[in-house]
Amino acid sequence: MNYRRHILSLARRMGVKVRENPRLKEGEAWSYAETRTIEIPPLNTYKGYIFACHELGHLMGKDPRNIFDSEIRAWRIARKIARFWTAEANSIRAEGLKTYLSFYKGDKRIRISRDAAKYLKAVLQA
C-alpha cells in the first residue's frame, strides 16, 4: 500500500495541507488547526502512516477543549480513516497515549473525562 498517496488523498478531500519534514523522527507529528496543516516525517512506514491518520483526526470536525478528549477523538478518527488497522496500530496508539499521559502526569490543571478514562483503560489494557 502506498501510505503517502492515501494520506495526501485524505488531506486533499479535507482541505488539509501536508508538510513532510525530514527532521521529524518517526512518531513525531503535529497538526495546526489555524492553517489546516499537518507536519509529519516522510511517509515511509506503517507507524508514520498511523500517526498521520491521527493528526488528520485532530483536524476533522470540532475539537473538544479537553486535551485528553481531543487526543482520544483523534485516535478514534484515525481508526476509521486508516485503510487497515492491525495489532501493530493498536500498539502504536497505546504507545502514543502512554507518552501523552506521562507528559501530563501530575498536572492538576488537566482533567480526564469519564469517556476518555474508559477509552484509555480499554486501550492500555488490550
| CATH number, residue 30 | 3.30.2010
Instruction: Give the span between the Cα atoms of 123 and 93, in whole angstroms.
Output: 8
Say if strands 17-20 and 30-32 run parallel, antiparallel, or are unpaired: unpaired
Helices 46-58 and 87-104 pack at an angle, to 10 degrees, of 60
pLDDT at position 35: 96
pLDDT at position 22: 96
pLDDT at position 30: 94
Domain around 43: 3-125
Instruction: Give the span between the Cα atoms of 99 and 123, in whole angstroms.
Output: 13
Instruction: Give the span between the Cα atoms of 53 and 38, in whole angstroms.
Output: 10
Number of domains into which the chain is organized = 1
Give the 3-state secondary structure of residue 67: helix
Instruction: Give the span between the Cα atoms of 107 and 89, in whole angstroms.
Output: 28
Low-confidence ranges of the chain (pLDDT < 70): 63-64
Give the global pTM.
0.91
